[in-house]
Chains A and B, each alone.
Chain A
Amino acid sequence: MLDQAEGYTTADGRKIGGVVMEMKNITLRFGGVVAIKDISFDIREGEIRAIIGPNGAGKSSMLNVISGFYTPSEGEVWFHGAKRPQMRPFEVARQGIARTFQNIALFEGMSVLDNVMTGRLTHMKTGVFSQALWKGRAEKEETENREVAEKVIDFLEIQHIRKTPVSRLPYGLKKRVELARALAAQPRLLLLDEPMAGMNVEEKEDMSRFILDVNDEFGTTIALIEHDMGVVMDLSDRVVVMDYGKKIGDGPPDEVRNNQDVIDAYLGVAHD
């Protein structure tokens, strides 16, 4: 079913393309602590890839490696067929990788619109001088990018709070604004760190719908970490399972669900 070059077709008939990002033998150490141990997996064009595992398994560390926040102690990160040199996070962002955070990391002092527009930053080129003059290039660029930002705002149904300062919003909406900010960058790879954490069922359903819609309409490749197993199994095309920094499973949800190692990791195993 999985062809290395061609990709594969999912159960619901979506075509998944070639490899976007490949992690090769990633190891991450903090002093003596090994957070990630020799993990390899790939993320393919247009798929929703989930990383799951019990607490402390190293999922967030893995996401931080992908987004350039941590540099792996060993191993290579390949993005769009090229080995990624050591990079600062903002350079990774400029390559087209956007992410959200487990604990919301919005700019609290700014309005929703400004937050989303900040997501467009990697597409804006005018310098300080033309910005200071405003008329002409800066205004044109602002308007063009505003149109993209407004499309995202429209898509995520947050038009009514466009001009509201983020600090006044409830938790669920903040999560959505953060997704909007990441989406506004029109990323080639979108990383979601526990997009459903702390939400009630209704909000979870909304968020799931948005994630599926984003993937469907924009064809965005998505990698996500999530604890809610029901959500993960329903949303994702392929799942990586981690435990104690090691990869213990990788494959479509059904396959992973029946993997004995995964079951042991989640339910515990009798030591006799």
Chain B
Amino acid sequence: MFYREAGDFKTSYQQDNQTFPIRFDRYRYYVVLAVAFGVVPFLINDYWANAILVPFLIYAIAAIGLNILTGYCGQVSLGTGGFMAVGAYACYKLMTAFPEVSMFIHVILAGGITALVGVLFGLPSLRIKGFYLAVATLAAQFFLVWIFNRVPWFYNYSASGQISAPEREVFGILVTGPNAPSWAIYLFCLIFVTFAGILARNLTRGTVGRTWMAIRDMDIAAEIIGVNPLTAKLSAFAVSSFFVGISGALFFSVYLGAVEVGEAFGIQKSFLVLFMVIIGGLGSIFGSFAGAAFLVVLPVVLKVVGVDLMGWATDIVAHFQLVIVGALIIIFLILEPHGLAQLWRVAKEKLRLWPFPY
């Protein structure tokens, strides 16, 4: 009824290859974009920006990055937090070294630097797979956090060992530091999310994405067919780390403002992003958004329900939150291993025929 592909004919392969081949989907996408860019910035306040929207956008980028590596290329990574830290510290060094350059350039360059680091730590993937690779990336996680703590050059020899973001502007509008308006921070992140989503979708629908998925599904057959495992795996590590680095740079510079590396980019961060990808759906760009939204909104909802509506103590709710998130992850893994994205796909397939399923 609402969701129809009948009568929606395609006459060229370009049309068939669109991101949203179904007209209804396409319009919905335009509406979401229009609301996100045209309406939300006028309504946003500090609470909404800091509690929900900005972390959602930033985690969405990280989840897209990890989904490319783990969901599309099948290389399990537990080093996401470490790579986010690389993005954050690269951004910090660039911000302090070149104060007059636009934040856009800094964040993108921070992503590029993280991509290089990611390729370096991706090298073991050429030899090892599965659990063993996960452990190797875990080593990357601890090593990176350790090095950012131990080498004072990274935090500009500050006494506390922390890094804090100086005030920087984009086109004359403040986007970092405590005085940045929330709509500017939101828009700044939204632009990166939009481009991350589009680039990731373009990569995954074309040749590069197919080589990644071929490696994921059966690496031996992929090689027989002409996939060079070296370039396929390392390009996945590079692209994935690029997005993760951007999210780390944004997380530090526009969201937190000041960062202590072990706390902000520790192993919990790696697991959080991995849960987002698993709950959202491995191998789906939409799933990355859904997973990020789910895990960002869930604590807020639990807090509102538990503390404000039920009147429970804050610490009890905080503990319950851990239990509920843990239980949900187990439930998801058992009932729908393909995550929210698969639920969405099934719902769409049902809707195509609704209300006459036969």
A residues apposed to B, CB below 8 Å: 67, 69, 88-90, 93-94, 98-99, 101, 105-110, 114, 117-119, 121-122, 124, 126, 128, 131-134, 138-139, 141-143, 146-147, 150, 181, 185
Contacts and interface: CB of A to CB of B under 8 A. Distances in A.
Contacts of B226: 90, 93-94, 121-122, 185
Q: Give the size category of B's interface with A.
A: 20 to 34
Contact of B225 (A93, A132, A133): A93
A185 B217 CA distance: 19
B217 A107 contact: yes
9 contacts: A89-B224, A90-B228, A94-B226, A105-B224, A108-B217, A117-B210, A118-B225, A126-B207, A139-B17
Which of B203, B206, B225, B238 has the most chain A CB atoms inside 10 A of its CB?
B225
Contacts of A118: 210-211, 214, 222, 225, 227
Contacts of B17: 139, 142-143, 146
**Interface residues of B: mostly helix, strand, loop or mixed?**
helix
**Interface residues of A: mostly helix, strand, loop or mixed?**
helix
Given A90-B225, A118-B222, 9 more contacts: A69-B224, A105-B220, A118-B210, A119-B225, A121-B207, A126-B207, A131-B208, A143-B17, A185-B225
B1 interface: no
A147 B13 contact: yes
Contact of A90 (B202, B208, B223): B223
B208 to A, nearest CB: 5
A146 to B, nearest CB: 4
A30 B213 CA distance: 32
A150 B226 CA distance: 20
Contacts of A181: 225
Interface in B188-240: 199, 202-203, 205-208, 210-211, 213-214, 216-218, 220-229, 235, 238-239
Interface in B1-44: 12-14, 17
B20 to A, nearest CB: 14
B283 interface: yes
Interface of B: 12-14, 17, 199, 202-203, 205-208, 210-211, 213-214, 216-218, 220-229, 235, 238-239, 283
Nearest to B239: A128
Q: Which 4 A-B pairs have the closest CB atoms?
A: A93-B226, A105-B221, A107-B217, A134-B202
B13 A146 contact: yes
Contacts of A69: 224
A121 B224 CA distance: 11
Nearest to A67: B224
A107 B73 CA distance: 12
Which of A121, A139, A146 has the most chain B CB atoms inside 10 A of its CB?
A121
Which of B213, B214, B221, B283 has the most chain A CB atoms inside 10 A of its CB?
B221
Contacts of A94: 226
B271 to A, nearest CB: 24
Contact of B208 (A107, A114, A128): A128
A118 B239 CA distance: 20
Given A134-B206, A138-B206, A142-B17, A121 B227 contact: yes
Nearest to A132: B199
A126 B239 CA distance: 16
A101 B13 CA distance: 30
A133 B200 CA distance: 10
Contacts of B221: 101, 105-107
B225 A121 contact: yes
B229 A90 contact: yes
Contacts of B207: 117, 121, 124, 126, 131, 138, 141-142
Contacts of A141: 207
Contacts of A110: 210, 213-214, 217
Contacts of B205: 134
A121 B210 contact: yes
Nearest to A144: B13
Nearest to B215: A107
B118 to A, nearest CB: 13
A98 B13 CA distance: 25
A132 B214 contact: no
B224 A107 contact: no
A132 to B, nearest CB: 5
A67 B238 CA distance: 30
Contact of B213 (A109, A131, A139): A109
A134 B201 CA distance: 9
B202 A114 contact: no
B279 to A, nearest CB: 19
A124 B208 CA distance: 10
Contacts of A88: 223, 228
